[in-house]
Amino acid sequence: MNSGNIPFQNTDWENIPATEHQGETGTAYWKTISYGDLRIRVVEYSKDYKADHWCTKGHIIYCIDGEMISELSDGTQHKLTKGMSYQVSDERSSHRSISENGVKLFIVDGSFLAPKKEQDNHQTAG
């Protein structure tokens, strides 16, 4: 579904209900709004949070408060602290989130982060 028809509107995130998602350790709380295939979330990871899966989906993540580690399947770790962001397209990494002391994030994801199909990468001669 196309997400390109979003009317102007404000979002009071305090009024968006949170859903609870258990990690391998700790808990994630998601406040989510969706527009077609576009998903926008404020996510809070509890103290000692570790995701229970490796994720290959793309995200744009901005750290509102706290800090977290994005661990990649090759063992590298990338620290994200307040005011920082990371961006990755679908299937460009296998990653999981870890937060020792908790973190609050603003996350945007959707099909716009999917790799372009091979045919989209070639222009046709005219």
Tokens representing 53?
A: 């899966």
* pLDDT tens by residue, 69-126: 999 999 999 999 999 999 888 787 889 999 999 999 999 998 787 887 754 444 444 4
CB proximity list for 89: less than 8 A, separation 6 or greater: 58, 113, 114, 115
d(CA 107, CA 98): 15
- Three-state SS letters, 13-64: HHHCCEEEEECCECEEEEEEEEECCEEEEEEEEEEEEECCCCECCCEEEEEE
**Domains of the chain with bracketed CATH:** 16-113 (2.60.120.10)
- Residue 42 forms beta bridges with which residues? 31, 106
d(CA 30, CA 120): 34
* pLDDT tens by residue, 26-51: 999 999 999 988 999 999 999 999 99
Do the beta carbons of residue 50 and residue 104 sit within 8 Å? no
